[in-house]
Amino acid sequence: MKFLGIGIDICKVSRIQKIMEKPYWDRFVERVLSEPERVKRNNAEFVASRWAAKEALVKATGNKGLVFREIEVFGNGKPGIRVLGEEGKGGFEGIEFFLSISHEEDIAAAVVVALSKA
């Protein structure tokens, strides 16, 4: 495997909590969370960790054009991350992503490492 990149991001849970109270919360959720992730849309810690993971993926790949709702964080215990839709089919074939998420009080943090399978 060949190392391609690493990304890290942190997000304040209280920042997400404040956004949850705004009238544009529903639009925010539709732009940021994938369809399966929307089940926990009212959990600020969950949403903050997804935001951090997706930002870390953007940093690891260097692709600022990624659409957050087409990035899915999955798994219990050992999290994973994948790009869905056309973005996933095109530019990310043969790339494996490794994700770590952590929470501490008001902070959610995530690290993504991108490796080429070739």
pLDDT tens digit sequence for 37-55: 999 999 999 999 999 999 9
3 state SS of 113:
strand
Backbone angles phi, psi at 94, to 5 degrees: 80, 5
Q: Tell me the whole-structure pTM to 2 decimals.
A: 0.93
**pLDDT tens, position by position, 65-118:** 899 999 999 987 899 999 987 666 667 888 999 999 999 999 999 999 999 987
Q: Where are the domains of the chain?
A: 2-116
Pick the CATH number of 2-116 from 3.30.750.210, 2.100.10.30, 3.20.20.70, 3.90.470.20: 3.90.470.20
Angle (CA) 34-8-47 rounded to 5° is 35
Looking at the annotation, which residues are catalytic?
Answer: 59, 103
According to the model, what pLDDT value does residue 7 have? 98
Report the alpha-carbon distance of residue 112 to residue 53 in Å, rounded: 7
pLDDT at 115: 97
User: What does the pLDDT look like over 19-28, one tens digit per residue?
Assistant: 999 999 999 9
